[in-house]
Structure 1
């Protein structure tokens, strides 16, 4: 049964990024980039407040670096003041995380922050995540941890790590989750909250930087998982107001409406959204959903470049 309002709303503070990661459309595809306006954010804020009873979480992240938006911290404060019980999360590459910004984020009412460091060594991380320097990110994260502890703050801290598949190893990422890289465990210790993912190919972004390997039953290639929690329980709005199906649509391949002209409720319950849900539920997805590694049986992973 379709719910009338999404329990999770994902908001993109900035579609621009200070990095140019080799595996990410944001870092490599030519597209319009910018930051969300205060007017649009306030419109979103007013509507989610009206539906606070059904709202579980606000995720302030999509494809760009949130800290490029100068109003980002003030937005978190506004959300927290009006939504005291809602979980508020963000993701950052950590390069812009000064001591001043760390203090402001920790004091803002943020529930959780996730920092990104990838691959099996700092050298490969810096190669893949162009314009990033792992030593700087690590120093910034440790300062954030120190300030967070000194304030006895409840902000949850985690490290997300995308792991590229070794070309020589007999490793099937479908059956086994990649382990936490030794260099990260040695750096942050075993008690850090790690989120490790296998590096999948983006559905609308054939890789030119990486070799790929497919896992799963190719004979089932056209048979899909008919369940996608993104279209059933999460709404994603880009910095320009465009609503897209999920976190994999970084270039607005499937625009479902725009919050500049319509409301969250109108778009969430629109014919376009319901058509997409029906396509997925009947195992007949179109557009980028057709090639999505989340619902396809045969999945495409990126191999380590080094």
Structure 2
């Protein structure tokens, strides 16, 4: 571990209420719109009562004003010059100020990434290259028939591939990574999915075990922490976790891990055997990791200027607002500081954190 990482770890452990370092990422909720209907997502299934859906679609205006975006850029450049800006929610390529906002990030030399379902990637590829976007994270969930079924769109896979190919044909192409959420519909084709991209110069492929919060876990959590950090069931409405073929999944994981690819292939979390896979999906009350680090690394800014911890899967806790405070103050606000201290006191995770992507450290 480098000296810098060691000092940050010491800061988190001994002084969680004041971080002496900058955030790694500012996650940007630049809009509240999505153009697909993903079966494993509360937004796609229109379960708008969940915390996840509220974080992604619950604020107004529908699009972050360009003036607010400019404030974020200028304050980041002034106070956190090495911090990365991540366009993440809800579907950034639908953001009506996309090109103008990217011109700002480029002007201030800020590292910028975009997470997208890639339905409009072909249309936006030129702008992404022109304005120097550093990284593109593309969410795909299987080959054509599977992906189109999961996403509720007749040619979402084909359009994503056309966008990737257009990016790769252009100068100043961002680093392209593909991420695939594991669901009941794609466990039989994960190896074929990686093979499909084997000849493309990707930065990597990442498989993400489904993030989910069953109702029983949310209720257990709320008995202990609901007054401060309310939780809801999430990502369990049009997806039946029990229908995931765990034996098939483990076989696919083994096949992928036994092959060499020209880019890294990862699983999150990294599960070492079939028993670990079964534990993840069948016993969500058990923690896989030990600590959430994202509340110590990131914060998310919504379209109305309000700020929540970490990213869209975290608790809908208002830790500040950019119309009232600046980024530097919000990063160590009293509300954010208390959440970090409470997480440490609880041992690193709260019950509803158990299957969040940030809990696997």
- TM-score normalized by the length of structure 2: 0.67
Pick from 324, 332, 339: which aligns with 1:261?
324
Distance 1:228 1:75 in 2: 30
* Deviation sequence 1:241-293 (CA, Å, 0-9, x none): 2211223437x62222222222212222111101100111112689xx53123
2:43 match: secondary structure: helix
Residues 1:283 and 2:360 aligned together: no
Question: Separation in 1 of the partners of 2:284 and 2:158?
Answer: 44
Q: CA deviation at 1:221?
A: 3.9
Instruction: Answer yes or no: is the 8 Å Cα contact 2:34–2:91 preserved in 1.
Output: yes
Distance 2:34 2:300 in 1: 18
Question: SS of 2:354's equivalent?
Answer: coil
Q: How far apart, CA to CA, are the structure 1 residues paired with 2:36 and 2:147?
A: 12
Is residue 2:209 matched to residue 1:198? yes
Task: Structure 1 unaligned segments of length 5 or more: list them.
Answer: 170-178, 300-306
Q: 1:52 to 1:19 in 2, by over 3 A?
A: same
Which residue matches 1:172? none
Matched, 1:23 2:40: yes
More helix by share: 2
Q: For the residues of structure 2 that align with 1:220 and 1:20, how far apart are their CA atoms?
A: 25
The 3 A distance-change label for structure 1 pair 224 and 145 is: closer
2:295 aligned residue (231, 236, 239): 231
Q: How many equivalent residue pairs?
A: 276
* CA distance in 2: counterparts of 1:51 and 1:263, whole angstroms: 10
Distance 1:168 1:117 in 2: 13
Task: Indicate the larger mover: 209-218 or 1-10.
Answer: 209-218
How is 1:83-94 mapped onto 2 (pairs within 5 angstroms)?
Answer: 83=109, 86-94=110-118
Post-superposition CA distance 1:87-114 (Å, at most 9, x none):
2111111111234x21111110110111
1:12 Cα shift?
1.7
SS at match of 2:317: coil
Q: Which moved more, 1:263-272 or 1:209-218?
A: 209-218
Specify which of 183, 202, 210 is matched with residue 239 of structure 2: 210
What is the root-mean-square deviation of aligned Cα atoms in Å? 3.2
Deviation at 1:216, TM superposition (A): 4.9
The answer to whether residue 353 in structure 2 is matched with residue 292 in structure 1 is: yes
- Conserved in 2, the CA contact under 8 Å of 1:223 and 1:283? no
Change (3 A) 1:32 1:232: closer
What is aligned with 1:80?
Answer: 106
